Amino acid sequence: MLSKPVITGMGVIAAIGQGKAAFITGLLEGKHAFGVMQRPGRQRDSAYIGAEIGKITFSPAITKQTLHASSFSSQAALVVVQEAWDEARLFDVDPMRIGLIVGGSNIQQRELVQVHEGYRDRCAFLRPTYGLSFMDSDVCGFCTAQFGIRGPSYTVGGASASGQLAIVQAAQAVLTNQVDVCIALGALMDLSHWECRGLRALGAMGSDRYESEPALACRPFDRDHDGFIFGECCGAVVVESMESSKRRGLEPYAALRGWGIVMDGNRNPDPSLEGETQAIQKALAASGLPPAQIDYVNPHGTGSIAGDRVELDALRACQLTGAYVNATKSLIGHGLSAAGTVEVIATLLQMQAGRLHPSRNLENPIDSTWNWVSDRSVDYPIENALTLSMGFGGINTAMYWQRHHQA
């Protein structure tokens, strides 16, 4: 029986920076890049606020030909997988024993809308590559081709919990010995103006209340929150067994001691105290450790009025009131499919740094009894952390991370 899966490599990109070093620096400094979104296809009679990624630096190993052919979501995937790949020295692993799970569905909407609108009156000349690119699994194609991955690669979807689901799926692939190493990718969700409109109409995305002050719009757990604010991001983590990591002399970031996945039996976007509580309890039970051992929680914390309240109620019901809490989305926005993976990366980088990042705009917490990290970062050595994700369709996921100490 293999030991608990560990994380040995990570790659990340968000609006506050590309790569782990820029990302953790940005988090700890409380940086943000919120504004009225500018990427083509994001606005239509609108001024949606979000955090968009700036110019991406690509490794020379990624050819211009690949960049020309790939979608924005695929480009972000190539960049973060490269970073994780190099860190975990995957070039020393048999390609047949490496897998890749891509978390997210319908992730390339903006690219698709651009094609549909651009070719509306000249559909006879549609680029043939659209026959490949319209599928999310095109991301698997680009990444496996770039890195020569020969183990299983496929997508998993669970709305905003997709990023955590990908890690769970990767952990299971390792634990069942399908592969030695499995990369989990939280894919960049590339929203078009249509999804922005739908999410806002649904009341999930923040309103235009902060249109003239975009920096104030994203405010998880603050009394003036009124919905999530989108943020482009993408992250990859390398999951493997301790035994496998030792073969390459790596020191992991942390071990995954347990997880929980629970459905509410509810198609709608509204949260469920019962579902969230059960997911957390499953993760805690799997860890075999008492709740008081959790000293840091990275919550889903989107800024949704109902979601923020129910999440704190669930954490309280699970006796986690002693833990520090901050809101990564207050700095990078909500990456939807990517959020679960990117926030695990934020958690493990804070664990490594021994410091917790601040939460922007947390001026009047909806519940002041929690150990919030609000206006400035705090030195704190995390031993055990819980990360949470919830998605539309009533999915709740929780993951239990234990810091790795060098032998």
Binding residues for another protein, rule: CB under 8 A, are: 63-65, 67-69, 122, 124-129, 132
- Choose among 91, 90, 86, 13: nearest CA to 52: 13
Residue number, 44 or 127, with CB nearest to another protein = 127
* DSSP class per residue in 82-139: HHHHHHTTGGGS-GGGEEEEEE-SSTTHHHHHHHHHHTTT-GGG--TTHHHHTSTTHH
Residue number, 62 or 273, with CB nearest to another protein = 62
Could you identify the residue written with the tokens 């990456």? 335
Residue number, 112 or 250, with CB nearest to another protein = 112
Q: Which residues are CB-contacts of 237 (< 8 A; sequence separation ≥ 6)?
A: 7, 9, 10, 84, 167, 170, 183, 184, 341, 344, 345
Provide the minimum distance between the beta carbon of 127 and another protein in the complex, in angstroms, as a whole number: 6
CA distance 13 to 263: 29
Provide the minimum distance between the beta carbon of 68 and another protein in the complex, in angstroms, as a whole number: 6
Q: Which amino acid is residue 118, in one-letter code?
A: G
Provide the minimum distance between the beta carbon of 114 and another protein in the complex, in angstroms, as a whole number: 16
Q: Which amino acid is residue 308, in one-letter code?
A: D
Provide the minimum distance between the beta carbon of 176 and another protein in the complex, in angstroms, as a whole number: 34
CA distance 302 to 334: 7
Could you identify the residue written with the tokens 């319908």? 106
Provide the minimum distance between the beta carbon of 154 and another protein in the complex, in angstroms, as a whole number: 21
Provide the minimum distance between the beta carbon of 75 and another protein in the complex, in angstroms, as a whole number: 14
Residue number, 130 or 154, with CB nearest to another protein = 130
* DSSP class per residue in 253-273: SEEEEEEEEEE-S--SS---H
Residue number, 45 or 121, with CB nearest to another protein = 121
Residue 330 near residue 361 (C-beta atoms within 8 A): yes
Fill in the DSSP letter of residue 73. Answer: H
CA distance 259 to 278: 11
Provide the minimum distance between the beta carbon of 64 and another protein in the complex, in angstroms, as a whole number: 4
Phi and psi dihedrals of 339, rounded to 5?
A: -55, -50
Residue 366 CB coordination number (10 Å): 16
Residue 310 near residue 234 (C-beta atoms within 8 A): no
Provide the minimum distance between the beta carbon of 123 and another protein in the complex, in angstroms, as a whole number: 11
Residue number, 58 or 194, with CB nearest to another protein = 58
Residue number, 61 or 285, with CB nearest to another protein = 61
CA distance 36 to 217: 11
Residue number, 114 or 396, with CB nearest to another protein = 114
Residue number, 21 or 132, with CB nearest to another protein = 132
Phi and psi dihedrals of 163, rounded to 5?
A: -65, -40
Provide the minimum distance between the beta carbon of 133 and another protein in the complex, in angstroms, as a whole number: 10
Provide the minimum distance between the beta carbon of 8 and another protein in the complex, in angstroms, as a whole number: 33
Residue number, 45 or 125, with CB nearest to another protein = 125
Q: Which residues are CB-contacts of 145 (< 8 A; sequence separation ≥ 6)?
A: none
